Amino acid sequence: MSGRFFEEWKVGDHIRHDLHRTITETDNLLITTLTHNSQPLHLDATAAAASEFGQILVNGILTFGLMIGISVADTTLGVLVANLGYDKIRMPKPVFIGDTLRAETTVTELRPSASRPQAGIVTFTHHMLNQRDELVCEALRTALIQRHPP
């Protein structure tokens, strides 16, 4: 287990996750077809070349999912009861095939669970950055986290 129990978090805790990932054409193709997203900007090189971006755009679901996935080992692995929600998802810059992405996480809120005394609620702000340190995705994740066992 590498996640932290509720009591181990403080507002302002910040993590630069070690895992980085270079996005491949196969990554983008798999998530796009798996989710039945027929947007030509993700699948059609000719159509994407004619767009303002001039190339295929990586599906935002991949960017978002990777950001959350990279964070799990350092935040909620082994202590998560449930993810309660994702809010304020933004993608201010595009991601392209060949971009290398990394994630950072900050704890922005902590509160005990009113309905589950054995758990607490942690709000994480996740950021995904590309190899130029440009913000490509951000979101709030609210998670129900186990408290230390008695």
Q: Tens digits of per-residue pLDDT, 90-127?
A: 999 999 999 999 999 999 999 999 999 999 999 999 99
Its pTM stands at 0.93
Residue 41 included in any domain = no
Range of the domain at 112: 6-21+60-146
Q: Per the domain annotation, does 43 fall within a domain?
A: no
Is there a contact between 145 and 84 (Cβ–Cβ < 8 Å)? no
Question: According to the model, what pLDDT value does residue 1 have?
Answer: 56
pLDDT tens figures, 27-60: 999 999 999 999 999 999 999 999 999 999 999 9
Domain count, the chain: 1
Residues 6+ apart with CB under 8 A from 64: 89, 91, 128, 137, 139
Q: With respect to residue 38, please indicate whether it lies within any of the assigned structural domains.
A: no
In a domain, 64, yes or no: yes
**How many CB atoms sit inside 10 A of residue 66's CB?**
22
CA 107, 109, 115, 118 dihedral sign is positive
CATH number at residue 75: 3.10.129.10
Is 70 a member of any domain?
Answer: yes
- CB neighbours of residue 136 within 10 Å: 23
